[in-house]
Amino acid sequence: MDHFQYQDGQLMAEDVALTDIAEQVGTPVYVYSTATLKRHFRVFREAFATVNPLICFAVKANSNQAVLTTLAREGAGADVVSLGELMRATKASIPGERIVFSGVGKTDEEMEAALRVDIKQFSVESEAELEALNIVAGRVGKVAPVSIRVNPDVDAMTHAKISTGKSENKFGIAWQKADAVYGRIKELPNVKAVAVNLHIGSQLTKLEPFREAFERVLGLVRELRAKGHDIKHVDLGGGLGIPYDPAAATPPAPSAYGEMILEVMGDMDCDIILEPGRLIAGNAGLLLTRTIYEKQGENRTFYIVDAAMNDLARPAMYDAYHAIVPVTEPSDGKTVTADFVGPVCESSDVFARDRKTPALKSGDLVAIKSAGAYGAVMASTYNSRPLVPEVLVNGNTFEVIRRRQSLEDLLALDSIPSWLED
């Protein structure tokens, strides 16, 4: 469920009309719902109420400070993958004990910064990273809490570009090497094994891959404990999908996901860390855009909107489906089949192909739904198009939580070398 519903013929974000946001802020603009963010987090947390896991929101899904602060006040931790995300998490008042640091390419600078705020764990993804972390931790006088991210070689049955748990993916340490790597941890003075973790992919729509991967990891935990490793918790990652396409299979509910995990965990006596991102933020946001032109091609109709692939990359990058709806509810019942496209000079700048939609005209507002995750965070300034603003709605009020970048802002990032100056 989300809080974007029609009232008296107008699409609302909670109790704010999207037409009001468009009038005051302009388009394109990302719009997020506080009520939806809170509801999704609470529903997910309630699915695990009996074990009270640490729920670390995947900051890469939506890193806006207002979103992070909203979730932090609900008790969320943070799963970060860069120094910038670490800084965003701490600025949102998420304490180090609720932060895990993932990613395959952590630098010495990032490791040192994370050590200084005493994060919960480093999710180590290679032997080389482990050795580097040991050196950095020694230099700053800390013992780094380590969880090895194992690659269980499980097919997540999701899009190839968001699958992370197969042997050919760059993520994690091969299943067969895990025992030796934990043995190496025992030999190093400045790292300590506290957990095992995995993450097999994103937008999973079936529970079976999760179950297979989790059972493998728990088997590894038993083996490691038998060899004297003090494994206190397991980090099961994220990846549970959300319903983008109403015609596609509905992903499992958080309650079913929770039941499966608790069944697999049994009496393991392990604390649990979970890293949802899309599940919390995806349907809590939309991209509000305006139709510029209706164009009749030789065989098809195009609706050209003022948003583009640089603003929302998922359709171009993953062939992702996003529902697109008019902001003013149609009354005449007239429909057409059209492509929704942006102004960027690329054939891949397409939000939808052959989509049945109410007939539109130039100037009409439309909402591209399920854009709260991997939307604004993946945006670029391709074609010298400034980054669009973000708005957070709370009940009957809203505020701009990231201002629209101006062309002057964009151009000011460049500089002319001395030999080209007059």
How many residues would you count in the chain?
Answer: 422
Which residues have CB under 8 Å from 92's CB, separation 6+? 65, 68, 69, 72, 78
Q: Which of 221, 231, 240, 103 is nearest to 172 (CA)?
A: 103
Assess contact for 274 and 310: CB atoms under 8 A: no
**Distance in angstroms (rounded) separating the CA atoms of residues 284 and 193:** 36
Q: Please report the DSSP string for 23-79 in residue order.
A: HHH-SSEEEEEHHHHHHHHHHHHHTTTTT--EEEEEGGG---HHHHHHHHTTT-EEE
Catalytic positions are 345
Residue 151 φ/ψ, nearest 5 degrees: -100, 105
Find out whether 257 and 240 touch, Cβ atoms under 8 Å: yes
CB 124 within 8 A of CB 198: no
Sign for the CA dihedral angle at 209, 211, 214, 218 comes to negative
